[in-house]
Structure 1
Amino acid sequence: MGLLELVLNVVLPPSAALSLVLLWPLLTILDVFRWMFSWLVHENVRGKVILITGSSSGIGEHMAYEYARRGARLVLVARREDQLRAVADRAITKGASDVHVLVGDMTKEDDCKSVIDATIHKYGRLDHLINNAGNNNSFFFEDTQDTKALTAVVDTDFWGPVYMTYFALPHLRRTYGKILVTASVGSYIAFPRESIYNGAKAGILQFFDTLRVEAGDTVGITVLMPGFTESEGTRGKMINENGEMIFNQKKRDEHFGPSPMAFTEEVAKAAVKGMLRGQRYVIVPFYYSVFLLYRVFAPEVMEWMFRFGFVSHPEKPRSKQALEATNAQKVLYPKSTLKGE
């Protein structure tokens, strides 16, 4: 160890901690003013061009409706054209200025480039890029039977947003546009059975945090980190250990996951509002924020909790046992409150 490194190891941590303590009141005041300003002033997107990947269902679909209500022009992208066109029709009825449907696979670099090129050819500009397409897995890492099960998730959840951003960035700089990427609370919470998904989402979080530094004020970046949300993924559509896409769809009140589900509409509404207000991060539901403190100050507590709750009895997580035992599942998710049947 060199002398300089030794000095930095001894001096830098306490001095940095002291500086943070001294600056904390000022930073808090600035955050409060920024938060108040964002509630009073938000971006008007009427007539602006919004590209949303993974918009044939789930959060992406409902983000399209949120933008439609604000009069935006939408470019909807996914692999299922029939579902995209159904979403497009509903978006028009909700107030979208125009809707353009593009079929594309976000794991393919050529498709990503083609989608951006087609958008610019159609509208001549791009104002918001919503990187929402995603995939999930539900198996322990050591149960992997085929490594394509690993790459399939990473290709969609990491490389898809990276490719799209690469081709979109020059156009977004010209319009002082914005990027929203759907990450996950799994980017900082180690949910078992989702090691590859969590790793890809953690990579996306770090990638866009770094890009925010590089892009400066020319492009705004918002990272959406939803918790378990009602979607095709939480109802059984995901990559299995053999690398196959499975569609073992559950009913909408029979969700997969270790915690209560957030409603898709609520997550989409929070995401778009956060985007228009220029927020760096949107965590939905907000209570997941507390796990950031545990990750920093008591990581062993989180590890113990998840190991005890979700690894000891992997066939039925304890949270699901509790829901069933108390009949809370029917209270939290009555069919009458779930939209879109």
Structure 2
Amino acid sequence: MQTRFLPDRQLTARMLVTMFLLGLVYVAFVAVLVVLIKSVAVIVAIAAGVLAAQWWFSDRVALYAMRAQPVTPQQEPRLHAMVDRLCANANMPKPRIAVANTELPNAFATGRSAKRAVLCVTTGLTRRLDNEELEGVLAHELSHIAHRDVVVLTVASFLGVLAGLVARFAFYSTLFGDGRRSNRDDGQVFLMILLVMAVSVAVYAISFLLIRALSRYRELAADRAGAMLTGRPSALASALTKVSGQMRKIPTRDLRSAAAFNAFFFAPATGTGMKVHNLLATHPPLQQRLDQLAGMTKQL
């Protein structure tokens, strides 16, 4: 179904370039593993298992980790009414709605397709935002679903997860071997492990940087699309400012436990500081997002 979210050509181009580069790295990675491990079946089994798990269970894992529960219109009429209105305006299927009972003010979307998508908000967010601000955040998350950002990130992150699993597989398969190898064999196996781990680390680093760059841009794209859908960029800017300010009041332990979901959150659970850190961050700096929305307010 074609939604009324305007196509973002730059976002599409960046997604395609990122996936192409990750594909090249993936092909090289598999080729090296075939030479070193000499077992195509093992590699295919690992790759298929990891991708299938990410593809089919990403939404369940995310909701379970955040302790979120699906809610009905009777339980959360305010949320459902807003999402109903936004989905009608955007001409897109309505995702499932879930709520996580936590003071962390945030929201995220997950799911492998528009029909399987879940939009989750926290009770800390709904208590802190007024209707216009909350609607801006929901429109931002619906943009992620419409542009299939969740699917792209899931597939893109697959390579990094696979690299880590292969490194662990090579390490533990040797660590718990049958002990009947000669010293020469031990030396060759040790060298193979070092090579596999070195390649895995390199692959993980490259995929990490590519995904972070794509993630930062997709947040700017979602801000633009969400603001255009509601017609109120200032409300989204207000929500960003309020959420980022309130995040500082959340205990550090809670922020660190939620940091694993930064790539999917509306606003990162841990703030950005130095420029070097911003290059590795999942979200662009707050000021950059606010400046973009301020420019949209002038245009509208």
Q: Same fold (TM over 0.5)?
A: no
Query: Highest relative contact order (Cα 8 Å, sep 6+), 1 or 2?
Result: 2
TM-score normalized with structure 2 length = 0.26
TM-score normalised to the size of structure 1? 0.24
